[in-house]
Amino acid sequence: MCLAIPGKVLELGEDDSALVEIGGVKKRVSLMLVDGAGLGDYVLIHAGFAIEKINAYEARRTLELFEEIAKLDGTT
């Protein structure tokens, strides 16, 4: 029930609405609960609302950590 999926903001509409792309599907959602989501940003969508922006820098850092662990393990 707390499932939320990443969507890319394609268009900004009236009343805090936005058109987002979620895995190739376009859907209109509300940006009323997040501050400063702009075109091209990725947001997490839950029940028709963006509940948070995805932090690209932190995502990259997490992936780098996983890559580091995989290298230490010798599996890559």
Partner 1 sequence: MKYVDEFRSPQFLQAQLDKIAEFPFNARFMEVCGTHTMAISKAGLRPLLAPKVELVSGPGCPVCVTSAADIGLALALAEIPDAILATFGDMMRVPGPAGTLSQAAARGAAVKIVYSPLDALEIAVSNPNKQVAFLGVGFETTAPAVAAVVLMAEERGIDNFHLLSLHKLVPPALKALVEMEEFNIDGFILPGHVSAVLGSNAYTFLPEDYGIPCVIAGFEAVDILQAICELMVMRRDGAGLSVEYSRVVRAEGNPKALDIMHRVFEPADADWRGLGVIPGSGLRLREEFTARDAASLVAKIIQPADDRGCRCGEILCGKIRPAECPLFAGSCTPDNPFGPCMVSTEGTCASYYLYDYTDNNGVVNNGVEPQHQQVDNGVEPQHQQGCD
Burial 30-43 (b: 16+ CB within 10 A, else e): bbeebeebeeebbb
**Distance in Å, CB of 73 to partner 1, minimum:** 4
Is the separation of the CB atoms in 31 and 8 below 8 Å?
Answer: no
Q: Of 4 and 19, which has the nearer Cβ to partner 1?
A: 4
Residues in contact with partner 1 by CB under 8 A are 1-6, 8, 22-23, 30, 32-35, 42, 44, 46-49, 51-52, 54-56, 58-59, 61-63, 65-67, 69-70, 72-73, 75-76
